[in-house]
Amino acid sequence: MSDELATTDETVSTDGEYKMSVTAKIDEVGPCKKHVTVTVPRADIDHFYSESVSELGDQATVPGFRVGHVPTKLIEKRFRQELSDQVKQRVLMESLELIAEDNDLDPINEPTIDIESLEIPEEGEFTFEFEVEVRPDFKLPEYKGLKLERPSREIADKDVDEYLTRFLGQYGEMEERKGTAEKEDYLELSIKFEHDGKHLSEIAELVVPLRPVLRLRDAEITNFGELMADVKTGDTRETEVEVSGEADQIEMRGEKVKALFTVKSVKFIQAPEINEELLERIGAESEEELREEVKNILERQLTYEQRQSTRSQVLDKITESADWDLPETLVSKQVENALRREILEMQQAGFSRQDIQARENELRQKAISSTRQALKEHFVLDKIATTENLEVQPSEIDMEIYYMAMQQGESPRRIRARMVKSGMIENLEAQLRERKAVDVILEKAEYTDVKMKPQEENKISAVARSVCSSFAASAAEEEPEDSDEE
């Protein structure tokens, strides 16, 4: 910094505030990625230096001088480092804002700048560089008047009975199966995985319902139901498993692995009788009220399925022309967000943890490709939301949390606290904004009703475990229940 405070002709904006005269050279270094070289004139540096000296002089406490009467030279000498840091911070902040404004840059994240290594020179211009990822620039496709097919079906008493049986299972008692295993019995298993004759990994204990398919995070055992047919405690079974092509362990992708199962026990759930005690525990006044609530849940799930079907058609149509690329770093960061949002929607629709886990594992196995598509959908919907001036109100977030709390049997306050802590509250807001954008499209669409296929029985048991590692935590994994005792 020069010893004398330079007097420069300040550039003043229309609102009377100082405006810098920085220049920026912007280079395309990858899809949605810019390399920016910024040059800050000496006049701008001197302006902020002069401002900082003045502000510090008005409040600095120096022995022998009254506050506000400390000589400028002494301020510059005594607070040299503070002035340097303050000027650097102001120059960077102001120039970054100005560059984004003047060049229509819409950053996705914070620019990569090593602030500690930057030093503003004593004389002459100040130049710094950074890279930043920006939103893709594209023209919105036509999104009004789309022709869509809407699946529909009636909810029958049989549907209510089947859901109620599954729902009441959580209040039943687990009992030992004396004979051989039957469909939906719970198998307590240990599994050893071998590759090329060598031990790969082991799951010491796993409890899963007996269904046709067992889905792990990095593989799917499609013959699980046949393999475990008529097993009893102490039986062993083995089969071959192919590791997913998108497993975390790159060297194991597509490899064949031997899975050896040992059945530790076979149990089934004895569903409870519907009586006053059970109804009180559930929070229903009568069996009729309980059945009505189940029907409401099924109707919400039907609405969810209809929305997912029409939404899928909408997204296919509005992203047909989305041929722009995305940086790999952005894709990898968004994989977890995409999973969280999908889980959130299924929770709101009342799906069980098993259903959610099955969907999560499927998404993980197809993570990279699905996330690329999801990001393009997000950018298109976000641009539509901006075009339509759509915003999410706090009351709308509160209502969504209330519905989730009702469904999960928890307090809204606890649900909100957990979402804030995990970062899912931002996902919820983004999801609601995108939902509004889809609503705008759906409101203006033309529909043809088509008969929905009959609901299939649940064929998948999904677990948060992997072939290539002994244990992997899951975003949808069940949390320990709170004790009733205080």
Q: What is the CATH number of the domain that holds 376?
A: 1.10.3120
User: Is there a domain that residue 310 lies in?
Assistant: yes
Rg (CA), the chain: 31
Measure CA of the first residue to CA of the last residue in the chain; give whole Å: 64
pLDDT at residue 4 in the model: 33
- Mean pLDDT in residue range 343-352: 76
How many angstroms separate the CA atoms of 84 and 102, rounded?
27
Number of domains in the chain: 3
Same domain for 207 and 241: yes
Same domain for 431 and 306: yes
Is 396 a residue whose pLDDT tops 90?
Answer: yes
Same domain for 89 and 53: yes
The pLDDT tens digits of the residues spanning 114-154 come to 888 888 888 899 999 999 888 888 889 999 999 999 999 88
- Mean pLDDT in residue range 183-193: 95
Tokens of 33: 């990625």
Same domain for 312 and 240: no
User: Is there a domain that residue 146 lies in?
Assistant: no
User: Is there a domain that residue 2 lies in?
Assistant: no
At 152, is the secondary structure helix, strand, or coil? strand
In the chain, the amino acid numbered 146 is: L
pTM of the predicted model over 0.85:
no
HSE-CB of 454 using CA atoms within 13 angstroms? 5
User: Which of 208, 243, 270 is the last residue before a domain boundary?
Assistant: 270
The string of DSSP letters for 234-263 reads: T-EEEEEEEBPTT-SSGGGTT-EEEEEEEE
Is 34 a residue whose pLDDT tops 80?
Answer: yes
The confidence band for 109, taking pLDDT boundaries of 50, 70 and 90, is confident
Same domain for 426 and 371: yes
The pLDDT tens digits of the residues spanning 452-464 come to 877 666 789 999 8
List phi, psi (to 5°) of 139: -90, 130
What percentage of the chain has pLDDT greater than the value 90?
42
User: Is there a domain that residue 55 lies in?
Assistant: yes
The confidence band for 366, taking pLDDT boundaries of 50, 70 and 90, is low
Tokens of 38: 């910024």
Helix 367-387 vs helix 424-443: angle between axes, to the nearest 10 degrees? 60
Same domain for 263 and 360: no
Is 62 a residue whose pLDDT tops 50?
Answer: yes
How many angstroms separate the CA atoms of 97 and 174, rounded?
62
pLDDT at residue 259 in the model: 97
The confidence band for 404, taking pLDDT boundaries of 50, 70 and 90, is confident
Same domain for 201 and 111: no
Q: Confirm if 318 and 387 have CB atoms less than 8 A apart.
A: no
What percentage of the chain has pLDDT greater than the value 70?
90
Same domain for 127 and 50: yes
Same domain for 301 and 428: yes
Distances (CA, A) of 287 to 93, 254, 278, 292, 294: 63, 50, 10, 9, 10
> Which residue range forms the structural domain that includes residue 101?
23-133
Q: Confirm if 24 and 43 have CB atoms less than 8 A apart.
A: no
Is 351 a residue whose pLDDT tops 80?
Answer: no
How many angstroms separate the CA atoms of 164 and 369, rounded?
37
pLDDT at residue 11 in the model: 54
Is 203 a residue whose pLDDT tops 60?
Answer: yes
Phi-psi map region of 20: left, alpha, beta (phi>0 left; psi -120 to 50 alpha): beta
DSSP 8-state assignment for residue 171: G
User: Is there a domain that residue 478 lies in?
Assistant: no
Same domain for 438 and 325: yes
How many angstroms separate the CA atoms of 198 and 187, rounded?
26
User: Is there a domain that residue 138 lies in?
Assistant: no
Higher pLDDT, 20 or 211: 211
Tokens of 445: 């669409």
The CATH number linked to 102 is 3.30.70.1050
Distances (CA, A) of 339 to 368, 369, 423: 11, 13, 13
Same domain for 444 and 330: yes
Nearest to 366 by CA among 346, 385, 338, 388: 338
User: Is there a domain that residue 484 lies in?
Assistant: no
The pLDDT tens digits of the residues spanning 160-186 come to 998 898 888 888 899 999 999 999 999
The pLDDT tens digits of the residues spanning 265-315 come to 999 999 888 999 989 888 889 999 999 999 999 999 888 888 889 988 999
The pLDDT tens digits of the residues spanning 218-268 come to 999 999 999 999 999 999 999 999 999 878 777 788 999 999 999 999 999
The CATH number linked to 221 is 3.10.50.30
Residue 296: count other Cβ atoms within 10 Å of its Cβ: 12
How many angstroms separate the CA atoms of 89 and 186, rounded?
61
For tokens 């959580």, the residue is 170
Q: Residue 105, class by beta-carbon neighbours within 10 Å (0-12 exposed, 13-18 middle, 19+ buried)?
A: middle
User: Is there a domain that residue 12 lies in?
Assistant: no
Higher pLDDT, 423 or 467: 467
pLDDT at residue 16 in the model: 57
Same domain for 199 and 66: no
